[in-house]
Structure 1
Amino acid sequence: MGSCKEHEEEQAKCVWVQGPIIVGAGPSGLAVAASLSKHVIPSVILEKSDCIASLWQQKTYDRLKLHLPKQFCELPHMGFPEDFPKYPTKHQFVSYMESYASHFKIKPRFNQTVQSAEFDSASGFWRVRTQDSEYISRWLIVATGENAEPVIPEIFGIEKFHGRIAHTSAYKSGSDFRNQRVLVVGCGNSGMEVSLDLCRYNAVPHMVVRNTVHVLPREMLGFSTFGVAVALVKWLPLKLVDKILLLIANLTIGNTDRLGLRRPKTGPIELKNATGKTPVLDVGALSQIKSGKIKVMKGVKEITRNGSRFMDGQEKEFDSIILATGYKSNVPTWLKGCDFFSKEGMPKTPFPNGWKGENGLYTVGFSRRGLLGTASDAVKIAKDVADQWRTNTKECRNSWNSHIILLKQS
């Protein structure tokens, strides 16, 4: 491979990183940087935006709260403040992450969009290029996570629609849609919560439910549904745990099939582990569906100038369309020459071993197990790097110096 000067006409500067390069300053990137600091290992975080946790700060709606109790959402080595509620708000979670970064003296390099990252087998280093620099290290930690970019579906006729179209990443509050008829495409946690929020502003949401979906109460018998599942899985087979969860759900929230929310044949936890599809934890949307304030619609056949035609033959007019269609990984767009990730941008190696690749490549935030999985993987990565750091310190330094000379001459 050529030198940095040969890579870029404007002679992008080379930055030699003694510890790992971490791509992404969300919860995953912060967690692994903090875990490395506990082993006194430096790192450099490259972040494309101008702040930490940009998804939380810039692309989430105002009323968002953590869906799980705070004890399941803590980052390693530092818990939430004791006075935080059981389900912290978006703003509380952001303040927690800012305190976390400050406590561990984490200072990401902002406005550094990674254009490519590739392992140089000749030198044994990762070369990570941004718009103005090339960073070089023995280790690369991919921390951009499962939710890096919005998913914008192709819907026939959508270009004809005369009203406003927005992904939930741009949705802040139902106040922007007051008194409107709104088509919400998607029935996951975001689709449910956006529909609920719209009701608060006298809007009339029509929520599209194209596929099957598991809806569970956020709490069962006074305990977090997720907490109950975690406890039961330690002692019982997964399929039995799913049967118990669905039994309690049917007793507490009723048969959701009658509301147009058909359940998958596979249980909620088994489905989550296999596909990453998260069950919806109800925070009030079901009652609005039962009352008729949220209309459940079947799949969209076509978007028209004034509204939508549906698969069941209905046609309705709408003022706005909100795409609650989720997010996806963006790793395939910038990680080159590596087959560790699938074309969807997820590790091919199944959980619990998807955190480590070859040649010093690591991933955090891709376990499909939320922040709990992120924390676990961050600790594993830091320990693995620390083992190499301690046992090969002298050898690594000599190799480092010789490779720097070779790279400068290449």
Structure 2
Amino acid sequence: MTRPRPPPPMCKILPSSWTHFSLGTQIHGEAMRSNNSKRIWVSGPLIIGAGPSGLAIAACLREKGVPLLILEKENCIASSWRTRTYERLRLHLPKHYCELPLMPFPSDFPTYPAKQQFISYLDSYVKHFAIRPFFGMEVRQAEYDYSIRFWRIKTTDGWEFVCRWLIVATGENAEAVMPEIVGMEEFKGRVLHTSFYRRGDDFSRERVLVVGCGNSGMEVCLDLCNNHAEASMVVRNELHILPREVLGISTFGLSMWLLRWLPVRVADYFLLICAWLILGETEKYGLKRPKIGPLQLKNNSGKTPVLDIGTLSMIKSGQIKVVPEINRFFDKGVEFVDGRQEEFDSVILATGYKSNVPSWLKEEEFFCKKNGFPRISFPNNWRGKNGLYAAGFTRRGLLGASVDAQRIAEDIACQWNSKMKLLPMKL
């Protein structure tokens, strides 16, 4: 089991009576685990999550001279990127839209950095800003205590942290979404979520069904075909497919430029014309477009359009089959809603992820209990009440997380500088 690091010097280790230790006091992980009565007073903000959002906030706070503490349940930073992503993954947007605040990507990185390049960038980011997350600390409950006007954060190991500012940076993709499909337990082949998919050659010569047609589902299908698997893809809903680039310009960058000068409806119309000229008609291949445009759909529902990196050409050539929704599993395969039955060796669930905030944060005014997202829409969804903040819930990827980080750090720094360090109240 991974042992948590000693808390940074900005923390005070307090017994149940809240007798003060010096600011420089540290304590070994073994001692912490052996005494469940101890609590830790955090004089600055506490960040939950050491993914890109949490690291970005930490860097911005460091730059402003505000002490902080990060709690991370895993034993490394960016655990989702390290352990739950496939090897061929690349950033879907150009690197300058994905860099974190205060530190650009290395100039020799390609326009669309690979997974390992992005991880190395994050490692350099942590080293540059001297960010030291407190690993192996899974939060069980976080609740605002109105009697003392501070947040109480309790971990699964029984430790309690008390702070004035709580920053939720666990992100939109904390837990895999596992659909319940009739008969799944009867299927004798492999069933796995994309969080466990690594590379296509593990499925060479197999008949593989990919459930889901978002960016991950499309890319997994492409990887499977490139490794001699026979791939089929379940398309349940309408979706927008856009070229990744238009005349050498990233579609994302073009979209942002259009929105500076045109209404969303007009920008959508222009993008769809470009998509039709470059990709052609998609509906005849079983990929029906929604009635509203991609940018409006993103604003309304948060649903991201697919940026094509070659999958569509394989669908057109028949190398990837588009199939309807699954009705039920049987021992050798699946039955689709149209009554057809097909046999498969493996099924990969590209069914996405969800927020886990409702499972541990005892607060329902700012965060929605149903989906774990802030109730207020972007760009005003980063600050709640009583010192509560949210980062990485914008549905706008790394760019949205960076915007959140800078706003949160600025807001907390203003309070920190005006009121200095607050002492804990005696219980």
> What TM-score range do you get, normalising by the shorter chain?
over 0.9
**What's the counterpart of residue 228 of structure 1?**
254
1:44 match = 69
Does residue 348 in structure 1 map to residue 375 in structure 2?
yes
Supply the distance in 2 between the matched residues of 1:129 and 1:9 (Cα, whole angstroms). Answer: 16
Equivalent residue, structure 1, for 2:24: none
- TM-score, normalising length: structure 2: 0.91
Percentage identity across paired residues of the two chains:
56
3-state DSSP class of the match of 2:143? strand
Instruction: Say whether residues 1:299 and 2:325 are aligned partners.
Output: yes
2:393 counterpart residue number: 366
Is structure 2 residue 265 aligned with structure 1 residue 239?
yes
Match of 1:81 in 2: 106
CA distance in 2, matches of 1:135, 1:176: 44
Residue 318 of structure 2 aligns with an amino acid whose one-letter code is G
Letter in 1 for 2:164: R
Aligned equivalents of 1:270 and 1:169: distance in 2? 29
Structure 1, unaligned runs of 5 or more: none
Summarize the Cα distance change of 1:125–1:223 in structure 2 as closer, same or farther, 3 Å threshold.
same
Letter of the structure 1 residue corresponding to residue 222 of structure 2: L
Look up the match of 2:416.
389
- Structure 2 residue runs without a partner (length 5+): 1-13, 18-32
| Among 163, 180, 204, the residue aligned to 1:154 | 180
Of 86, 90, 107, 2:132 maps to 107
Q: CA deviation at 1:11?
A: 2.2
CA distance in structure 2 between the aligned counterparts of 1:275 and 1:19, rounded to whole angstroms = 35
Q: Which residue of 1 aligns with 2:55?
A: 30
Offset of 1:291 from its aligned partner? 0.9
For 1:43 and 1:178, how far apart are their aligned partners in 2?
47
Report SS of the residue matched to 1:234.
helix
Question: In 2, distance between residues paired with 1:374 and 1:89?
Answer: 19
For each residue in 1:279-299, what CA deviation from the matched residue of structure 2 results, as whole angstroms up to 9, or x when unmatched? 000111001101111000011
Q: CA deviation at 1:341?
A: 1.0
Out of 80, 88, 111, the position equivalent to 1:63 is 88
Secondary structure of the corresponding residue to residue 268 of structure 2: helix
Q: State yes or no: 1:15 paired with 2:40.
A: yes
**1:205-226 residue CA offsets vs partner (Å, 9 max, x unmatched):** 1100000011101001110000
Alignment partner of 1:115: what SS? Answer: strand
Where do residues 219-298 of structure 1 align in structure 2 (5 Å cutoff)?
Answer: 219-298=245-324
Give 1:203's aligned residue.
229
Write 1 or 2 for the structure with the bigger share of helix: 1
- CA deviations on 1:98-128 (whole Å, 9 max, x unpaired) are 1001100001011110111011111111111
Secondary structure, aligned partner of 1:258: helix
Verify the 8 A CA contact 1:5 1:11 in the aligned structure 2: no
Q: Hey, what's the Cα distance between the residues in 2 that align with 1:21 and 1:361?
A: 10
CA shift at 1:338, angstroms?
3.6
- Alignment size in residue pairs: 397
Q: What CA distance in whole angstroms lies between the structure 2 residues aligned with 1:109 and 1:324?
A: 31
Q: Secondary structure at the match of 1:265?
A: coil
> How far apart, in 1, do the equivalents of 2:319 and 2:169 lie?
40
Q: Distance in 2 between matches of 1:9 and 1:64?
A: 42
State how far apart, in whole Å, the 1-side matches of 2:265 and 2:367 are.
29
Quote the Cα distance in structure 1 between the aligned partners of 2:153 and 2:224.
43
Query: What's the TM-score once normalised by structure 1's chain length?
Result: 0.95
Helix, strand or coil: the match of 2:85?
coil
**2:372 aligned with 1:335:** no
- Equivalent AA in structure 1 for residue 66 of structure 2: I
The offset of 1:258, in angstroms, is: 1.1
Farther off after superposition, 249-258 or 10-19: 10-19
Q: What code does the residue aligned with 1:22 have?
A: I
Which of 206, 212, 232 is equivalent to 1:186? Answer: 212
CA distance in structure 1 between the partners assigned to 2:110 and 2:303 by the alignment: 27
Bigger mean CA offset, 207-216 vs 271-280: 271-280
How many Å apart are 1:156 and its aligned residue?
1.1
Q: Does 2:126 correspond to 1:136? A: no
The verdict on how the C-alpha distance between 1:350 and 1:322 changes in structure 2, with shifts beyond 3 A counting, is same
Please report how far the alpha carbon of residue 200 of structure 1 lies from its aligned counterpart in structure 2 after TM superposition: 1.2
Aligned with 1:303: secondary structure? Answer: strand
Aligned to 1:165: 191
Asked whether 1:320 is paired with 2:346, we answer yes
Q: Which deviates more, 314-323 or 265-274?
A: 265-274
Measured in 2, the distance between the counterparts of 1:302 and 1:188 equals: 22
Cα offset, 1:12, TM superposition? 4.3
Aligned CA-pair RMSD: 1.5
1:248, 1:11 → 2: CA distance?
Answer: 61
* CA distance in structure 2 between the aligned counterparts of 1:277 and 1:310, rounded to whole angstroms: 24
- 2:170 is matched by which residue type in structure 1? T
* CA apart distance, 1:352: 1.0
What do residues 78-105 of structure 1 show as CA deviations (whole Å, max 9, x unaligned)?
Answer: 0000000000000000000010011000
Moved over 2 A (4+): 3-6, 8-13
Distance 1:21 1:261, change over 3 A: same
The one of 90, 115, 135 aligned to 1:90: 115
Rounded Cα–Cα distance in structure 1 between residues aligned with 2:403 and 2:220:
31
